[in-house]
Amino acid sequence: MTDLNEESQKLDCDAARDMIDFFGMFADRFHHAKEEQHLFICLEAHGMPRDGGPTGVMLAEHEMGRDLVGTMKKAVAMYEKGDGAALKDFARAARAYVSLLREHIQKEDHCLFAMANENLSDKEQAQLLKAFRAEETRSSGERPLDYYLKKAQELGGRFQVRFTGLASGESSACGHHAGACGGF
């Protein structure tokens, strides 16, 4: 995930901070915010239950992700203060976050977004896309969405991670990945 070598006890803190910023902004503020503020509300209005339902599962996973990102952020700070044990904390949280996101994306692509396509009219989906774009503008703060798309490519290249995400400038609306259901 980062230039992390547990054997040599080294962590590239700059790269780790870049990734933490990416996860906090792109994954959480750009993507999850659109789901939480728009998609889930719309699906629940169509009778999809939150308690024990797909949106509740997704919300719980968003919170787990936020907790793991917070753990990584604390671990980097502790590592920089000389706490060698923080390297293991960072690595554990980073691996758990990757696993969580992979499973979460599978659920989105093959369950949640399919349910949205089945339950929402073309007009509602067009309204959601408009709301998503407005949310991206609100969430961008000092850095626009393109900054994070480029940052993902940069970090992926640096750590030999194959980038299969969106090209710069494309919308990051809902359908974005591939996988299988589980957990609903």
Asked whether the predicted pLDDT for residue 123 surpasses 80, the reply is: yes
Phi, psi of 84 (to 5 degrees): -65, -30
Q: What pLDDT shows up at residue 165? A: 52
Read off the pLDDT of residues 68-103 as tens digits, 9 standing for 90 and up.
999 999 999 999 999 999 999 999 999 999 999 999
Instruction: Report the alpha-carbon distance of residue 28 to residue 7 in Å, rounded.
Output: 31
**Assigned token pair, 1:** 């995930």
Angle between helices 54-80 and 85-107 (to 10 degrees): 160
Q: What pLDDT shows up at residue 2? A: 41
Task: Tally the residues of the chain.
Answer: 184
Domain ranges of the chain: 4-158
Q: What pLDDT shows up at residue 142? A: 74
Torsion from C-alpha of 107, 30, 115, 122, nearest 10 degrees:
-150
Phi, psi of 4 (to 5 degrees): -110, 120
Asked whether the predicted pLDDT for residue 1 surpasses 50, the reply is: no
Read off the pLDDT of residues 33-54 as tens digits, 9 standing for 90 and up.
899 999 999 999 999 999 999 9
Scan for tokens 């299969």, then name that residue: 164
Band of the pLDDT at 157, cuts 50, 70, 90?
confident
Cβ-contact 79, 13 below 8 angstroms = yes
Instruction: Report the alpha-carbon distance of residue 44 to residue 153 in Å, rounded.
Output: 35
- Dihedral sign, CA of 102, 106, 107, 109? positive
Amino acid at position 122, single letter = D
Asked whether the predicted pLDDT for residue 175 surpasses 80, the reply is: no
- pTM of the full predicted structure? 0.81
Amino acid at position 93, single letter = A
Concatenated DSSP letters of 9-21? TEE-HHHHHHHHH
